[in-house]
Structure 1
């Protein structure tokens, strides 16, 4: 019999993010692994190893449906065999390995019904040639991926050697960790969220307001990655100079470069942060990282070393504030948007990843233009910036919506970022933000677009649309009364219940709204104009 528990913080983020994304684009968040297979391993041994891991780790046999109370839950199922898709190189009328792998990696997960792991085994004359694993982030973070791959390698190696693998005992399970977290998805605790409200009141309405174009010039989004061996030593030198971690140097450099691009003197972003440093179950296989809202204040033209120090302080301050889950923070942003009468938009994500002891594979700076991130472009995000620290270099990868950072300017942004850090390895260099902006010499920003007010005109609702939306919001959130003149959050809606609202609407024949629209500041009466009869 399946057992259920509420979601942990990391699970809450990825579950909601999954529902924020339009169907057909969710594969952009999949984790695709291609682990090496030992020589002589039989298909049955590979399947046995995967099934052993499914029995061992509850996360691998967990689904994430909406519970009877309208909130998502993690539902742990009894052990069973993991379905393994099989593709052969022979022309036997079945899909080719390339097509089988493409389907495996690109198909959406149904979190309510599918386990968060898929497998596709490619064979030639019955001999395994490739194993492709597709993981959903709702059950995996980097720590869990390393654990999963390490245990799989031990099981496969033991099978070939004819000896059992020695794996450590599993002592803590994801459901137990979730039960210990204080931020349950019930009514917001005003005392716990008050410090965050003060932080959010100081945020700009839109970091990219000066750059945001009404419509992006194709492509809708673009991406590139710059790999630099000299950035590794440079960031460490600046870190020693400022007495901070190298990660703060990189985040400070992003804040300075973004400020130079946008002209904003306060740079907010979501930083992906692990919660494994203070949890009892350090080795539990689950997702335990989530984005932390952070903002760097640059209002008084600070020097770059000072920007780095302020970034480190901002990170510590954000970590010291009472813990709030991602969905709770989004609700606070919506509340502030309602207070201002315009959306407070934070759609910039940063991720610092330590890939040592692996090599970056180059001895000089190399810039690679990545394929246009078409699926990511549908997410509604503005920028995703990743820092990979290798044993012998650093890679900084940037995805940007064309509406805020055109494709032709991404290389300029990345190279300016690199030069900013390298220049400040010289202690005689102490450029203020105004000088950094002059040196980077970005193209002049166009006139900024006006903020979108909460009462912006919408299409006239179809007959019955407003009543259907109000009824769905009330039912999903157990509200006795719902004001259609208020936004979803202002009316008492919780974001973790937003997918249930949409589910109720679909069941009654209405479509056209998404979770992101409900999380904004537009009144429900205006949002009803987006609903259409299915």
Structure 2
């Protein structure tokens, strides 16, 4: 059975502003895929604590909407043709309730999440949907779906922590933490501080672009597949152990280790002595930014020179390059676009910005210890548990993107995924690349542990 409830909310302020840089970065993809940009919807299922009633859940949603300006923001194109955002003073959110037997409540919640996620958000509507799965009259799971224009991965994690606290103490008065919202970010970015930050990033961008490869995949022209973009996933406990131990041996973060592995494999695949990845950065390096709402995510060119370097040297080069890239991932998209065109004219040839990477790896806890020195049999036993998955492809991707690599932790493994444009890399190449990353990590672990 399905019912619907209405949550009325009233925010503390209203306002209009141009999009933030992070929102502008996403807007490009929203426009390209419109109206079918449902792939930018993010969903989560939250367990509701025992003893919490349905009115408590609806009140928690109301308080979240009042506190989190980004999830009650609407978007439009202004008279000048530029996109803008509007935070209303209040509104109403419709919440779906579905009933299910207790043993089926979780699967019903995930089915509801998939249904809510599958519908694109209208830009002039609130960028959040919610549903509740109840059984025997009690709420069991809260489903939240949010449009990527309103959040990024870090912000979503903060939002989930907030809603869990609201559910854990329904009706309790809490001091609302001060947060930077997109209206504040937009104002700052248009002021002297924002212009100075963007100019520093532009200086870095131009330096990287002057020496960037003209075409990372020169000479590769496989027969395009249908659909054109192919995607593979690998979940590997062996890769998690190898990255953990390489990180300890080489005194570099798991992110740096993975980027070094990916750079070596990409260089071998393309034959390029220097690889360039657009590295996705969360841009949350201070307490106030870590608590900020809305998407702060942007990318920056990471250039790794592979010439004459063994793996340990590549790790050192990657570490230095990633520090610079992370510091330069805050920029005005219009200025960067102009800078790219300027460099292309100056070079007299194109700049390949088609390879993207998002790496969200933290030190793993709870992994099995590696023998010292590492035992090849032990590592191969881990590799035998590697899970591989071929995903349904897609007909299009973000403009200009031909290689999109991601890595993140699961409870006891590293989950990697790669989507490739089959005009340069086949679906088989896509799957093989992830295998190569795992194999290289294991080989380097065995070498360095001897």
Q: Please report the TM-score for the alignment, with normalisation by the length of structure 2.
A: 0.80
Could you tell me which residue of structure 1 aligns to residue 357 of structure 2? Answer: 350
Give yes or no for contact 1:16–1:327 (8 Å, CA) kept in 2.
Answer: no
Give yes or no for contact 2:112–2:143 (8 Å, CA) kept in 1.
Answer: no
Gaps of 5+ in 2: 1-12, 102-107, 369-380
Return the alpha-carbon distance in structure 2 between the equivalents of residues 421 and 71 of structure 1: 46
Could you tell me which residue of structure 2 aligns to residue 370 of structure 1? Answer: 390
Return the alpha-carbon distance in structure 2 between the equivalents of residues 63 and 228 of structure 1: 40
Could you tell me which residue of structure 1 aligns to residue 214 of structure 2? Answer: 205
Give yes or no for contact 2:228–2:395 (8 Å, CA) kept in 1.
Answer: no
Return the alpha-carbon distance in structure 2 between the equivalents of residues 99 and 57 of structure 1: 26
Question: Residues 257-406 of structure 1: matches in 2 within 5 Å?
Answer: 257-278=265-286, 280-298=288-306, 300-321=307-328, 323-339=330-346, 343-354=350-361, 364=383, 365-374=385-394, 377=397, 381-390=401-410, 392-406=412-426
Could you tell me which residue of structure 2 aligns to residue 84 of structure 1? Answer: 95
Return the alpha-carbon distance in structure 1 between the equivalents of residues 209 and 309 of structure 2: 22
> How many angstroms does 1:318 deviate by?
2.7
- What SS does the aligned partner of 2:246 have? helix
> How many angstroms does 1:129 deviate by?
5.0
Could you tell me which residue of structure 2 aligns to residue 229 of structure 1? Answer: 237
- What SS does the aligned partner of 1:109 have? coil
Q: Deviations over 1:47-101 (max 9, x none)?
A: 22111111112111112323344333332111223222345569xxxxx999865
Whether 1:20 and 2:41 are equivalent positions in the alignment is: no
Distance of aligned partners of 1:68 and 1:421 in 2 relative to their CA distance in 1, 3 Å threshold: same
Which of 429, 433, 440 is matched with 1:420 structurally? 440
Return the alpha-carbon distance in structure 2 between the equivalents of residues 380 and 33 of structure 1: 30
Whether 1:65 and 2:73 are equivalent positions in the alignment is: no
Give aligned pairs, total.
418
Give yes or no for contact 2:133–2:141 (8 Å, CA) kept in 1.
Answer: yes
> How many angstroms does 1:393 deviate by?
2.9
Could you tell me which residue of structure 1 aligns to residue 148 of structure 2? Answer: 137
Whether 1:33 and 2:44 are equivalent positions in the alignment is: yes
Give yes or no for contact 2:243–2:254 (8 Å, CA) kept in 1.
Answer: yes
Could you tell me which residue of structure 1 aligns to residue 431 of structure 2? Answer: 411
- What SS does the aligned partner of 1:64 have? strand
Distance of aligned partners of 1:335 and 1:376 in 2 relative to their CA distance in 1, 3 Å threshold: same
Could you tell me which residue of structure 2 aligns to residue 250 of structure 1? Answer: 258
Give yes or no for contact 1:227–1:360 (8 Å, CA) kept in 2.
Answer: no
> How many angstroms does 1:367 deviate by?
2.7
- What SS does the aligned partner of 2:358 have? strand
The more displaced of 102-111 and 30-39 is: 102-111
> How many angstroms does 1:309 deviate by?
1.4
Q: Please report the TM-score for the alignment, with normalisation by the length of structure 1.
A: 0.69
Give yes or no for contact 2:46–2:143 (8 Å, CA) kept in 1.
Answer: yes
Q: Deviations over 1:416-452 (max 9, x none)?
A: 111212222245699xxxxxxxxxxxxxxxxxxxxxx
Could you tell me which residue of structure 2 aligns to residue 56 of structure 1? Answer: 67
Give yes or no for contact 2:235–2:386 (8 Å, CA) kept in 1.
Answer: yes
> How many angstroms does 1:390 deviate by?
4.3
Q: Deviations over 1:351-404 (max 9, x none)?
A: 111467787999654132132132664765212211113453322222222222
Distance of aligned partners of 1:254 and 1:97 in 2 relative to their CA distance in 1, 3 Å threshold: closer
> How many angstroms does 1:273 deviate by?
0.7
Give yes or no for contact 1:248–1:308 (8 Å, CA) kept in 2.
Answer: yes
Whether 1:11 and 2:11 are equivalent positions in the alignment is: no
Distance of aligned partners of 1:328 and 1:143 in 2 relative to their CA distance in 1, 3 Å threshold: same
Gaps of 5+ in 1: 91-95, 431-534
Distance of aligned partners of 1:221 and 1:47 in 2 relative to their CA distance in 1, 3 Å threshold: same
> How many angstroms does 1:190 deviate by?
7.5
Q: Deviations over 1:129-167 (max 9, x none)?
A: 5432111122212232122112212222323xxx51645
Give yes or no for contact 1:354–1:390 (8 Å, CA) kept in 2.
Answer: no
Return the alpha-carbon distance in structure 2 between the equivalents of residues 47 and 375 of structure 1: 39
Distance of aligned partners of 1:2 and 1:336 in 2 relative to their CA distance in 1, 3 Å threshold: same
Whether 1:104 and 2:116 are equivalent positions in the alignment is: yes
Return the alpha-carbon distance in structure 2 between the equivalents of residues 153 and 216 of structure 1: 46
> How many angstroms does 1:255 deviate by?
0.9
More strand, by proportion: 2
Return the alpha-carbon distance in structure 2 between the equivalents of residues 373 and 157 of structure 1: 40
> How many angstroms does 1:183 deviate by?
7.8
Give yes or no for contact 1:63–1:116 (8 Å, CA) kept in 2.
Answer: yes
> How many angstroms does 1:343 deviate by?
4.2
Return the alpha-carbon distance in structure 1 between the equivalents of residues 342 and 365 of structure 2: 44
Q: Deviations over 1:292-346 (max 9, x none)?
A: 2222122x33212212211111112334459423453333223333455654331
Distance of aligned partners of 1:294 and 1:428 in 2 relative to their CA distance in 1, 3 Å threshold: closer
